[in-house]
Each structure stands twice: as C-alpha cells, then as structure tokens.
Amino acid sequence: MGLYTLVVTFLCTIVLPVLLFLAAVKLWEVFMIRGFDPSCRRPLPPGTMGLPFIGETLQLVLQRRKFLRMKRQKYGFIYKTHLFGNPTVRVMGADNVRQILLGEHKLVAVQWPASVRTILGSDTLSNVHGTQHKNRKKAILKAFSRDALEQYIPVIQEEVRCAVKDWLQRDACVLVYPEMKRLMFRIAMRILLGFEPEQIKTDEQELVEAFEEMIKNLFSLPIDVPFSGLYRGLKARNFIHSKIEENIVKKIQNHDSERKHKDALQLLIENSRKSEEPFNVQAIKESATELLFGGHETTASTATSLVMFLGLNPEVVQRVREELHEKVESGVYSPGKTLSIELLEQLKYTGCVIKETLRINPPVPGGFRVALKTFELNGYQIPKGWNVIYSICDTHDVADVFPNKEEFHPERFMAKGLEDTSRFNYIPFGGGSRMCVGKEFAKVLLKIFLVELTQQCNWTLSNGPPTMKTGPTVYPVDNLPTKFSSYISN
C-alpha cells in the first residue's frame, strides 16, 4: 500500500504537471498557427512558438545574440517565433530583406511592438503612414540638409573636444559607453532640439537618467501596472516630455527668428502649424523624443564601437591619421581649425572605418513590420497579420559579398563596385521609404568624432575585446573601460 501511495504521489506531483505543461505548449503551438492561410500552397516557415502567452520573448531579452544565432543555425534565414505578444517571422539575407523593405504599403507596414508604440507614441515618424509619414519626413529632412549639417559642425567639434579634453585629464580609466551616451545626448539636445548649453547643464543628469530608464523598458511586455517595465518607461517618458514642452513654449514665443538654420524641433512646430489639423503639442513631443532617441542612442553605440575596434587595430588609427595629414600637407586643412563638409567628404578611408564598424556592429539590430496580406517569401507563406522582423545584424553576418566577415578590414569598402553589390547586404540604416532620416547627420558626427579622437589621443582598452549585448542598441557589457593619453604627432 505504501508503494502504491508513493507511485500515485509521484504521478500527481511530477508526471501529471509535466504532461499538462507539454500539452499546454502543444496547444499553444496549434493555436498560434491559426493564421495559416489554406489558400496559399506554401507552408509556414520552420521554428517554434515558445511558451504560452509569453512565447520566446524572455529568451530573446535575456540571451539576445546567442538566442538569435542558435535560431539561425537551426532554422535558416526565415523562421517563425512568438515575440512581444505576437506571432512573428524573422527574416535575414539580402534577397529576403529586399522584398520586405521594398514591400512597404504593398506587402507590409511598419509596426513596432506595443510597448514601443505606447512609450514613443503613435504620432512618431516610425509609426505614422502614408501622407502623414511623407510630410513629417520631408520636414525633418530639412534639418539634415547639407547646408544645415555645415552649420552643425562647430557645435559638434566643440562638444567632442570638450569631452576628449576631460578624458585626457583623468588618471583613472574612462568608461567609454556611458561617456559616449552623455556626449551624444548633449549634441542631439543642442542640434536636434535647440536646447541651449546652460539649459542642458541644468537638466542633463535628470534627463540622461530618464532616457536610460525609458530606453531600458522600450521592449517590455505590454502590461501597464505599477513597477512593470512599461510603467517605468512611461514615467520616464513623461519627464522627458515635460522638458521638451518647456522648449516648445520658448520656441513658439521667440519664433527662433535669429537662427539661420532651424533645428528639427522648430521645423516640426512650423510643419504642424502649416497642416490643416489643429496644433498638436503631444505629437510634437513624441516626435522630438523619437529624434532624441535616434539621434543619440545609435551614434553613442557606434562611437563606442569605433573606440573598441580602433583600440584593437592600431594600424587603422595610423591610417586615419595619415589621411588627415595628407590634407594638412596639401593645405586643405589646418589642425585646430573648424572642419568642413568638403573636407569630411574627402576623408574616404575614415568613412570606410565607420562603414566597417557599422557592418560588424550595426547599432540597431533590425526593424519591425506587419504583414498586410498573406504573401510568399522564398518558399514560405507569411500570414496576414503576423509581425515580420527584418534582421540587420544577421543579414550582414550572412552576406557573401564580405569575405573574412569576422575581421575588421575597412579597406574592403575602398573596392570599386562594392557599393552596388552590397545593396541589401549592407543595411545599417535600413532601406526603402523607411530608411533612417538622420543617416547623413550620423556620418558627419561620427567622422568629426573620429578626426578629433585620433588627432588628440592614444588609448588602450583595459579589458581587451568586450562582450557585446543588445538592449535595444549594441553596447559592451563592461562599458569599455579605456585609458586615454595625449597623442603628439611627429
């Protein structure tokens, strides 16, 4: 009788719950493929849907690159999963990504996870569609015109030189990633939103901390209850909005008439006034927050990667210095003088260093879309209503046009014809109608940073090559502790 009781207890406490759990997972898998379109002869992509309700979101958040690499190795370039509350197809490879990026409004439409839409807002450039997207994009692009970029250069140089001077004066190691976020944040606040230096100095610490909190919780479960990720993200977002609204009020009162070139926030205000719809302060705050996120978080990630890759490849630093020295000898540039767009465009190798950094460590790992109708992609059906994630990092990893992909080799971008063959194999700024509006601004900013850094500093990475994570942009887990020292040219 005792043995019988033991067996029954074992079955009830261990075996039965396990069987029920496995049955629940199987029912979840069956339930999740309800979007399968029987009129389409193609099967769903391979893959798994994970646990009931939460899918495979936790694995992605906790493991990131390890999880994605495992999925790619097991299922190939197209696979199904369940992320952020939705059945999802993840896509990589130039041909597959090309169909997604060029299928905007025909096959797919932009749709970020619910938590991103809630925190950033529904009126942001990344979330609006059609005419509204076209008009908003046109207004913002004026802030990134060639003439406007020329006007931004002195501000960027001033901020970069001030930061580099501070790093050189420190006896201890500098934690590069947090420093880059502060530097790029100050630049974005001044250039994109028109904040004055004194105003930034007053609010910088609180704003940076609020942005950290908001960004950390962008990709979270869409549950708005106290202490949840979404709740904390919204609280931080509201503080940022309050500071931006103060600046909007000042701009409306002053009309910013003395500025030759208007910042993006001013252009958004003017564009809102010209539209037939009522003036919407909330929409402008949301757009400004999105600009600030895109304008500093991604550049901070790439600038950190630049310090890392160049710290590991001193011969590349030397080539960057030699290229600028050639411009000095030819009389095109004098050390210490303000840079120009013309000179920056002539620094081809320096540009290739940035391109190679973006190839290996694209700051944004991918983009989100939703299928507008069931369509075929490389032998599989993508059901209507399912989310589609196109992967930037994986597409770079699998691109055959880049031999020896693991090596940091900027010279590869000097090759003639690579720009044509690498289209959709190289997409750090996305592609199609949703390509990043600030890509030229980012290129100018990063070139200035690289010029100033290499002309003033030598540096050594304290921990060697770091482990990189994504959340939501790429960053080193150890914050890249680095020792800077003065560089004296011969």
Do residues 115 and 219 touch, judged by C-beta distance below 8 A? yes
How far is it, in rounded angstroms, from Cα 6 to Cα 2?
6
List the Cα angle 198/201/204 in 5-degree steps. 140
Nearest to 385 by CA among 30, 23, 16, 37: 37
SS3 107: coil
- Residues contacting 131, CB < 8 A, separation 6+: none
How far is it, in rounded angstroms, from Cα 390 to Cα 369?
8
Backbone angles phi, psi at 443, to 5 degrees: -65, -45
CATH of 36-486, one of 1.10.630.10, 3.30.70.20, 3.40.1010.20, 1.10.10.10: 1.10.630.10
Query: What is the crossing angle of helices 146-169 and 176-191, to 10°?
Result: 150
DSSP letter assigned to residue 51: B
Do residues 344 and 332 touch, judged by C-beta distance below 8 A? no
Residue 173 in marked binding region: no
CA distances from 228 to 85, 232, 396 (A): 16, 6, 34
Q: How many residues does this entry show for the chain?
A: 490
CA distances from 342 to 150, 297, 348, 430, 483 (A): 9, 27, 11, 26, 32
The pTM for the full model equals 0.87
Nearest to 362 by CA among 478, 211, 470: 470
Using the structure block, give the residue that is written with the tokens 């979330």: 127
How far is it, in rounded angstroms, from Cα 408 to Cα 357?
8
pLDDT in tens, the chain (490 residues): 566 676 666 556 775 666 555 555 555 555 555 566 777 889 999 999 988 878 898 888 777 778 888 999 999 999 999 988 889 999 999 999 999 999 988 999 988 888 888 998 877 888 888 888 888 888 888 888 898 899 999 999 999 999 999 999 998 899 999 999 999 999 999 988 888 888 787 888 888 889 889 988 888 878 888 888 899 999 999 999 998 888 888 888 776 555 556 788 887 788 777 776 666 788 888 888 888 888 888 999 999 999 999 999 999 999 999 999 999 888 888 887 889 999 999 999 999 999 999 999 999 989 999 999 999 999 999 999 999 999 999 999 999 999 999 999 999 999 877 776 778 999 999 998 888 889 999 999 999 999 999 999 999 999 989 999 887 889 999 999 999 999 887 6
Do residues 363 and 301 touch, judged by C-beta distance below 8 A? yes
